[in-house]
């Protein structure tokens, strides 16, 4: 279904995100017939380009970073014709009058701040000073949204000086992933799971986001962040919220976000003994974290594993184990819900050791499987085995239906539609920092040194021990 005609200004329009994700994504929406051809995309950045130069740059970017749509050469010119460019001085007056002439008042307006957060205030102020933005304009901001509670509050306050909360779209691209949304469909669209979704039936939950990439090339940013700020405070926290929240009364922005916020606020402080920080070592032909970050004395973590608790009736006593890291064995994001053992086995003594395990694979190979216990086929008597009820989405639904829409393109279309459900509200972001701040401050106060782990592994040994101590084990990363 096409969205309304829009004008989208991308500040930072020549940057990495714009070239890798935003513009190739918009081109795909264009090809899908969702982006009206009279829409305008205005790149704005410092570089002294004109529209023709910008179109050339984006054509190259789509050729380099686009997917299958690269072949659609016939349509690329029509798409590029929607692009404009304005050289802009974020802190001065240059370019703003030109911008005012280009951005129409009678269509949906969105301003994407794909720039350093220190510029948010300058941009917001000028959008008003030059009468470009109005009461209906939407603005889109990216992570990192602050690096602690104080800076996040300051950013929220800066934005609130110029825009209402219902105009602000804070992106966490994990919320745009197909399977992440499917999590909600699975939980709230089936009668099967919700009655069991609590501490009476669930033993524990694991959330793993393992990556094979290193931090090379972005060491300067990463070394000041680490896995906690870069991944846990946002992406893993959002996954945790969707798994743990109460059913919202409807699938609408505030209902969903209210419930997520309650989860974050109910998270208990984490015992330092329940956290393992790691840093990848050099491997055969690969450099170490410290080399990649160009900081020989860095104590920043590229891996983290932790055990958390949510203090409410539903989850009291159920550990949530979170784990994420770079340079790991495989790229694999998975949520695993491990149900309790049955109370009494009618078969044989050992047969109560079987469990139902629901695993939700976010990427790659999106899908779910539910481990169920059945009789081993054959005449060998009543012997039980665990088998997966597999639902790989691509197989179940047919490839064409699940051609995975990139998170960014879906989220940008939601901005144009005015749907904030998959965006973070200001209070959520602040609550998430309020939970992570004391943990990070604890490390800093203790000069905590991360444990080294081998590239291509599952992280430091201690991370395995975190579960072993509780008589549990991590799902294998594969
Ligand atoms: C980003 C982080 O937000 O998410 C990166 O800054 C990380 O460090 C990336 O690699 C992971 O995203 P995806 O979509 O590849 O899982």
Q: Whose CA is nearest to atom 6 of ligand 1?
A: 230
Rounded distance from Cα 230 to ligand 1 centre (Å): 8
Of ligand 1's atoms, which has the minimum distance to the CA of residue 407?
Answer: 14
Protein residues with CB under 6 Å of any ligand 1 atom: 143, 173, 211, 213, 230
Of ligand 1's atoms, which has the minimum distance to the CA of residue 225?
Answer: 6
DSSP string, 206-255: EEEEE-----TT-HHHHHHHHHIIIIIIIIIHHHHHHHHSPPPSSSSHHH
DSSP string, 332-354: EEEEEEEEPPPS--SS-GGGGG-
Dihedral of CA 308/313/314/316: which sign?
positive
Question: Rounded to an integer, what distance in angstroms lies between the CA atom of residue 411 and that of residue 392?
Answer: 24
Q: Whose CA is nearest to atom 15 of ligand 1?
A: 211
Mutate which of 176, 207, 211, 333 for ligand 1? The one with the most ligand atoms within 8 Å of its CB, which is: 211
Tens-digit pLDDT string for the chain (478 aa): 899 999 999 999 999 999 999 999 999 999 999 999 999 999 999 999 999 999 999 999 999 988 766 666 678 999 999 999 999 999 999 999 999 999 999 999 999 999 999 999 999 999 999 999 999 999 999 988 999 999 999 999 999 999 999 999 999 999 999 888 889 999 999 999 999 999 999 999 999 999 999 999 999 999 999 999 999 999 999 999 999 999 999 999 999 999 999 999 999 999 999 999 999 999 999 999 999 999 999 999 999 999 999 999 999 999 999 999 999 999 999 999 999 998 888 887 666 678 999 999 998 888 889 999 998 899 888 888 899 998 776 677 665 444 557 889 999 999 999 999 999 999 999 999 999 999 999 999 999 999 999 999 999 999 999 999 999 999 999 9
Beta strands in 12-100 (DSSP E): 40-45, 83-87
Rounded distance from Cα 32 to ligand 1 centre (Å): 26
This prediction's pTM: 0.94
Q: Whose CA is nearest to atom 13 of ligand 1?
A: 174
The answer to whether residues 304 and 325 touch, using CB atoms and an 8 Å cutoff, is: yes
Q: Give catalytic residue positions.
A: 235
Radius of gyration of the chain (CA): 24
Rounded distance from Cα 452 to ligand 1 centre (Å): 21
Rounded distance from Cα 105 to ligand 1 centre (Å): 35
Residues facing 45 on adjacent strands: 87
Question: Rounded to an integer, what distance in angstroms lies between the CA atom of residue 13 and that of residue 17?
Answer: 8
């Amino acid at each position: 279904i096409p969205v309304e005609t829009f004008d989208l200004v991308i500040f930072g329009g020549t940057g990495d995100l714009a070239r890798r994700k935003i513009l190739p994504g918009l081109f795909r929406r264009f090809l899908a017939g969702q982006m009206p051809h009279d829409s305008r995309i205005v790149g704005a950045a410092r570089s002294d380009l004109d529209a023709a130069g910008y179109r050339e740059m984006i054509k190259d970017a789509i050729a380099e970073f686009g997917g299958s749509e690269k072949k659609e050469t016939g349509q690329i010119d029509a798409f590029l014709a929607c692009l404009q460019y304005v050289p802009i001085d974020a802190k001065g007056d240059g370019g703003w009058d030109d911008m005012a002439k280009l951005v129409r008042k009678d269509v949906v307006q969105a301003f994407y701040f794909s720039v350093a957060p220190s510029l948010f205030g300058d941009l917001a102020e000028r959008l008003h000073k030059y009468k470009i933005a109005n009461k209906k304009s939407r603005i889109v901001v990216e992570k990192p949204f602050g690096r602690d509670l104080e800076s996040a509050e300051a950013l929220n306050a800066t934005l609130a000086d110029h825009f209402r909360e219902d105009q602000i779209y804070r992106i966490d691209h994990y919320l745009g992933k197909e399977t992440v949304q499917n999590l909600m469909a699975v939980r709230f669209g089936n009668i099967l799971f919700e009655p069991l979704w609590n501490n009476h039936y669930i033993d524990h939950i694991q959330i793993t986001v393992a990556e094979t990439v290193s931090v090379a090339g972005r060491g300067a940013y990463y070394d000041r962040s680490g896995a906690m700020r870069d991944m846990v405070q946002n992406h893993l926290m959002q996954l945790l919220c969707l798994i743990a929240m109460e059913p919202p009364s409807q699938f609408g922005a505030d209902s969903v976000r209210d419930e997520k916020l309650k989860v974050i606020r109910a998270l208990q402080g984490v015992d330092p003994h329940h956290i393992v920080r790691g840093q990848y070592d050099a491997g055969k032909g690969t450099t170490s974290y410290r080399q990649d970050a160009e900081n020989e004395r860095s104590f920043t973590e590229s891996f983290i594993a932790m055990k958390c608790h949510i203090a409410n009736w539903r989850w009291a006593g159920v550990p949530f184990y979170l784990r994420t890291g770079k340079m790991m064995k495989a790229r694999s994001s998975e949520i695993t819900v491990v149900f309790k053992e049955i109370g009494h086995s009618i078969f044989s003594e050992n047969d109560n050791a079987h469990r139902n395990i629901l695993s939700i694979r976010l990427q790659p190979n999106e899908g779910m499987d539910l481990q169920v216990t059945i009789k081993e086929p054959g005449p060998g008597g009543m012997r039980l085995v665990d088998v997966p009820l597999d639902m790989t989405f691509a197989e179940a639904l047919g490839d064409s239906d699940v051609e995975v829409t990139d998170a960014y393109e879906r989220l940008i279309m939601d901005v144009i539609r005015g749907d904030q459900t998959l965006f973070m509200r200001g209070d959520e972001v602040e609550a998430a920092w309020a939970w992570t701040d004391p943990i990070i401050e604890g490390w800093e106060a203790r000069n905590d040194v991360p444990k080294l782990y081998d590239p291509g592994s599952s992280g430091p040994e201690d991370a395995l021990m975190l579960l072993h101590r509780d008589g549990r084990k991590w799902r294998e990363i594969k």
